[in-house]
Chains A and B, each alone.
Chain A
Amino acid sequence: MAAARRRRRSAKAPVTPTPTPTTRRALYLPLALTLGLLTLSLLPRVQVNLRLAWSFWGASGALLIWQTVLFLRLRGASVGRSLESVLRPQHYVQAMVQVAVFAYWGWYWRPVYDFAVLLAAQLVFAYVFDMLLTWSRREKYVLGFGPFPIIFSINLFLWFRDDWFYLQFLMIAVGFLGKEFVRWHREGRNVHIFNPSAFALGLFSLVLITTGTTHLTWGQDIASTLTLAPLIYLYLFLLGLVVMYFFSITLIAGSAAVVLFVLSALYASLTGVPYFLDSDIPAAVFLGLHLLITDPSTSPRTPPGKLLFGALYGAGVFGLYMILGAAGAPTFYDKLLAVPLLNLSVRGIDSLVQIARESPALARLRIEWAPLTSNLAHMAAWIVFFGAMTAMGKTDGKHTGDSLPFWEQACAHDRANACSRLIQLETTYCGDNSAWACNELGVHFRRGVAVAPDSELARGYLARACEIRFQAACVNLLDPDGLNRSDPRPLDLRLLLREAGQNLMEMSEPGLYARACHHDWAFACSR
């Protein structure tokens, strides 16, 4: 009830109509913003890459052409175009939460801050695109913070690299086109089916997977660098509480998390190895279940519906992670692909809930819905659950899967997926410039034990390790059959032992070796 009252208040109070400007004056705004986009293209961050600059110019050019056509079309029209500003809390509160995530994450992974200009450019592009799309179809554009959560949400999960940044603009365009055109009738209203950001992310994820072009994006880096920020789970949890309090999404996020925790625990108890690589719920999934699936207009509105929706998301991510892994595709797409499918299931969930409510059997069981509608009660349960998970070491802190020796042993014992996890971990650390990890990969691909043999790939990894001054790798390069290995060096350990993102660069060597020993590195215990 309280939530319903809040919704009614928020629907009325913040509306601030402005005087309707003439069509010509209305069109000045997208023109000014497009010129702003062109101005952004002159910044050093953009100019450093000509293809990136061309992406900006191409996007600006397309927007200018669209404006010109629209202007000419409307010149003699009887109905003008206008703006109305409406500030909706679900937009600006969510945007503020997302900014808080960027700020904290970027503090520990600087590419996020370097990306700020490109993020701003996407926002400008999104506003202009949204305005032009609206005015091409109807009279009034509602100006508010709507594009902010869409753009931020997209960018919390996927960016294209500079050389292919035009695809980022295309992805935004697809998101808004989906919102405008892919619609259905629900509860008597014509509404968009898909969460706009999730639609664009899901569609592009699908295409990136099928075309094998993930390397065009920062997706893998984004998914794995969230944990560079210390206590990221706690941070996301606290931010999530804000969203939960204002928008009653606790049942969705909470049930998704519970299902994932339970399924992960079940898998681990059956196989002896963690299901997800380095946590019971990957941090990026934890972020997704707070910010990606909680759009009120594309999710169920009843408490049982929300419960089911969240539970399906948890199960969906769990299943997709397995399917993607089995297909050899990057597994970080799991959280993105599940959302559009869930959006499509919303009407089915609504119907199920309706049937359940009218079921005489449930009536006999005297199930009362009313107690389930208190958001504060849901939040209290969620806080207790998260606290319990944290106390059990299932969120921030050391995790079984953080230990490379654990995966080495599990692989040697042929435990489920252990070898592929080992390779995946070593690939990540090699990408972070751990020469030890690169040499290990080279040796694996040369031996062909944990993976199929591939001499070219082996040579590439060994060359990379050698260039980072790992002598065993250099010696391996000289001998086509060389399988030399040596213990990780201090610099490697500073990367390998990060565990939930702690910065170990300043840690003393004795401290580092003590930590390594604690993480099952036997050689370190005697140092």
Chain B
Amino acid sequence: MKGGVPLAFLAIVAAVWIALRLSQGPPTELAMDARPPTATGNVEGFRVDAWFLPDEELLGFVEIPAGPFVMGSDASVDPDAFDIERWSSTSAQGIVDLPAFYLARYEVTVAQMSAFLVATAGAIQAQALQTPPDHPAAFVSWPDALAYAGWIDATLRESSATPPQLRALLSDGWRITLPTEAEWEKAARGVDGRLYPWGSEPRQDRANYSSRSAVPVGSYECPECPFGLADMAGNVWEWTRSPDQPYPYDATDDGEGLEAEALWIMRGGSFGDGQSGVRAAMRGRADPGARRAFIGFRLALVR
């Protein structure tokens, strides 16, 4: 071997090593496509210092009192009702008694999702972050939604920015997750059995449906809506933590049917649906891996 050859050999090794170190990217196994460069800027009504959650006492969580409500659809009252909304062969609707819980006033936004991705160095499908920061986060799968819920739960427990009342709840055994479909339906239609959050007649001035795209969360005023929640009809479908099971609704059977192909319930309809799709009792089903422009989610605080 010539004298300079070992040096040249070492130089090659060093060059290749440096090139590879420079090009080292994130592990791709569990990552998707996009990472936000930074969290999004200021969004009116939301706190930049609190991961873009609403600037409210409980960071947007609204209490839904304990008590029974009417679940499901009676086709004699609601001509748009689908068969899967019927309670049983003998009864059109059922009464479900729920303990108190909290539901987020707004759907989770793009800004909130960006904050999550920045904090966790996570990644998500690129389209999820391409809409304005105050729009609902879409293109999220069911596990993505759960991951966000798990992250914000852990973050709020540890952060000094968490409001005391919310901190007390979290310390007292409450946790942030997705709502069950019963919780969601109760929050949407209240306890008087109405068909839509604002009443029993369709109104396009109350929700974003039969349109071409999602709008910023809370864009539609709805003084008639129970509990003051926004966009419980239309804008984007919202994932729930309920698997697709036939009525009568029973949360205790959620862990059954493990052999079946997974389908999870989503609620509320989307901008692309007509009036029948945004009824409070409407049950949508989707693959947990579905990432679509019309599917988002909102959070629940439950015990």
Q: A193-B1, A460-B30, A478-B241 are in contact. Are A211 and B288 (CB under 8 A)?
A: no
Q: Are A182 and B5 in contact (CB under 8 A)?
A: yes
Which A residues touch B28, using CB under 8 A?
215
Q: Are A170 and B19 in contact (CB under 8 A)?
A: yes
Q: Which of A163, A215, A464, A473 contacts B27 (CB 8 A)?
A: A215
The interface on chain B, measured as residues whose beta carbon lies within 8 A of the other chain's beta carbons, has a size of 43
Q: Are A167 and B264 in contact (CB under 8 A)?
A: no
Q: Are A167 and B23 in contact (CB under 8 A)?
A: yes
A464 to B289, CA, bound (A): 8
Question: Taking CB as reference atom, which chain A residue is nearest B28?
Answer: A215
Q: Is B254 interfacial (CB-CB < 8 Å)?
A: yes
Q: A471-B262, A475-B254 are in contact. Are A460 and B29 (CB under 8 A)?
A: yes
Give the residues from 179 to 217 in chain B that come closer than 8 angstroms, CB to CB, to chain A: none
Q: Nearest-CB distance from A460 to chain B (Å)?
A: 4
Q: Is A59 interfacial (CB-CB < 8 Å)?
A: no
Q: Are B257 and A471 in contact (CB under 8 A)?
A: yes
Which B residues touch A464, using CB under 8 A?
30, 143
How many pairs of residues, A versus B, come closer than 8 Å at their CB atoms?
123
Q: Are A459 and B147 in contact (CB under 8 A)?
A: yes
Q: Is B258 interfacial (CB-CB < 8 Å)?
A: yes
Q: Is B25 interfacial (CB-CB < 8 Å)?
A: yes
Q: Are A207 and B30 in contact (CB under 8 A)?
A: no
Q: Which of A459, A463, A475 contacts B258 (CB 8 A)?
A: A475
Q: Are B25 and A467 in contact (CB under 8 A)?
A: no
Which B residues touch A478, using CB under 8 A?
146, 177, 241, 254
Q: Are A210 and B12 in contact (CB under 8 A)?
A: no
Q: Are B143 and A164 in contact (CB under 8 A)?
A: no
Q: Are B260 and A471 in contact (CB under 8 A)?
A: yes
Q: Are A216 and B20 in contact (CB under 8 A)?
A: yes
Q: A170-B16, A211-B17, A216-B24 are in contact. Are A474 and B288 (CB under 8 A)?
A: yes
Which A residues touch B23, using CB under 8 A?
164, 167, 213, 216
Which A residues touch B24, using CB under 8 A?
211-213, 216
Give the residues from 1 to 41 in chain B that come closer than 8 angstroms, CB to CB, to chain A: 1-2, 5, 8-9, 12-13, 15-17, 19-21, 23-25, 27-30
Q: Are B143 and A213 in contact (CB under 8 A)?
A: no
Q: Is B142 interfacial (CB-CB < 8 Å)?
A: yes
Q: Is A469 interfacial (CB-CB < 8 Å)?
A: yes
Q: A203-B12, A213-B23, A470-B262 are in contact. Are A181 and B5 (CB under 8 A)?
A: yes
Which B residues touch A461, using CB under 8 A?
30
Q: A208-B20, A460-B30, A484-B255 are in contact. Are A466 and B1 (CB under 8 A)?
A: no
Q: Are A467 and B288 in contact (CB under 8 A)?
A: yes
Q: A167-B19, A215-B27, A486-B259 are in contact. Are A467 and B1 (CB under 8 A)?
A: no
Which A residues touch B27, using CB under 8 A?
215
**Interface of A, helix, strand, loop or mixed by DSSP:** helix
Q: A467-B288, A467-B289, A471-B261 are in contact. Are A213 and B20 (CB under 8 A)?
A: yes
Give the residues from 49 to 81 in chain A that come closer than 8 angstroms, CB to CB, to chain B: none
Which B residues touch A472, using CB under 8 A?
258
Interface residues on A, range: 35 or more
Q: Are B289 and A466 in contact (CB under 8 A)?
A: yes
Q: Are B20 and A211 in contact (CB under 8 A)?
A: yes
Q: Is B287 interfacial (CB-CB < 8 Å)?
A: yes
Which B residues touch A164, using CB under 8 A?
23
Q: Are A469 and B16 in contact (CB under 8 A)?
A: no
Q: Is B141 interfacial (CB-CB < 8 Å)?
A: yes
Which A residues touch B259, using CB under 8 A?
471, 486-487, 489
Question: Taking CB as reference atom, which chain B residue is nearest A211?
Answer: B20
Q: Is B226 interfacial (CB-CB < 8 Å)?
A: no
Q: Are A174 and B12 in contact (CB under 8 A)?
A: yes
Q: Is B243 interfacial (CB-CB < 8 Å)?
A: yes
Q: Are A469 and B143 in contact (CB under 8 A)?
A: no
Give the residues from 281 to 299 in chain B that come closer than 8 angstroms, CB to CB, to chain A: 287-289
Which A residues touch B263, using CB under 8 A?
469
Q: Nearest-CB distance from A377 to chain B (Å)?
A: 37
Q: Are B1 and A469 in contact (CB under 8 A)?
A: no
A167 to B15, CA, bound (A): 11
Q: Is A204 interfacial (CB-CB < 8 Å)?
A: yes
Give the residues from 445 to 466 in chain A that come closer than 8 angstroms, CB to CB, to chain B: 459-464, 466
Q: Is A468 interfacial (CB-CB < 8 Å)?
A: yes
Q: Are B17 and A210 in contact (CB under 8 A)?
A: yes
Question: Taking CB as reference atom, which chain A residue is nearest B12?
Answer: A174
Q: Which of A204, A466, A487 contacts B16 (CB 8 A)?
A: A204
List 13 A-B pairs, Cβ < 8 Å: A174-B12, A178-B12, A182-B5, A183-B2, A215-B28, A461-B30, A467-B287, A469-B288, A470-B262, A471-B257, A471-B262, A484-B258, A489-B259
Chain A residues near B (Cβ < 8 Å): 163-164, 167, 170-171, 174, 177-178, 181-184, 193, 203-204, 206-208, 210-213, 215-216, 431, 459-464, 466-475, 477-478, 484, 486-487, 489
Please give me the 9 A-B residue pairs with the lowest Cβ-Cβ distance, nearest first: A467-B289, A463-B143, A460-B30, A471-B262, A469-B262, A472-B258, A486-B258, A469-B261, A211-B20
